[in-house]
Amino acid sequence: FKIPFVEKVSKTVSLKEQVVDFPPQPVITKDNVTMQIDTVVFFQITDPKLYAYGVERPISAIENLSATTLRNIIGEMELDHTLTSRDVINAKIRVILDEATDAWGIKVNRVELT
């Protein structure tokens, strides 16, 4: 219920799981090899109020956070370890993103690197 002319709906928010495919990011491994890694993030909005008012552009914020986190994690690993530890990298990124986006009313369910 809303009072006409006084209250207005800012935006409607879907509570379904959403998928965002971010463009490939250049990352450098510990042994100075440059790679292009594509990130896919599966997330769900848990608090529409925080999602709408907690951060200016939530999807862009998730993209920047995932790119920074990816660079940090890959930067600590050598190329061989990076190629064989995809599940470990996915899990680390998911945990970091989930903790950071909690304040924005978002739960990160899964992260996939391609």
Reduced to 3 states (helix: H, G, I; strand: E, B; else coil), residue 112 is strand
**Confidence (pTM):** 0.84
Dump strand ranges (E) for 11-99.
Answer: 18-28, 34-45
pLDDT at 39: 96
Of 65, 12, 8, 3, which Cα lies nearest the Cα of 39?
A: 65
pLDDT band at 86 (very low <50, low <70, confident <90, very high): very high
pLDDT at position 10, please? 64
Averaged pLDDT of the chain: 91
Domain boundary assignment for the chain? 18-113
Adjacent-strand bridge partners of 25:
37
pLDDT digits (tens, 9 = 90+) for 98-114: 999 999 999 999 999 98
Q: Which CATH number fits domain 18-113: 3.40.47.10, 3.30.479.30, 3.30.420.40, 3.30.9.10?
A: 3.30.479.30
pLDDT in tens, 10-25: 678 889 999 999 999 9
How high is the pLDDT of residue 12?
A: 81
Cα(91)–Cα(108) distance, rounded to whole angstroms?
11
> Residue 94 is which amino acid?
R
- pLDDT bracket for residue 58 (50, 70, 90): very high
Quickly count: other Cβ atoms within 10 Å of residue 51's Cβ.
Answer: 18
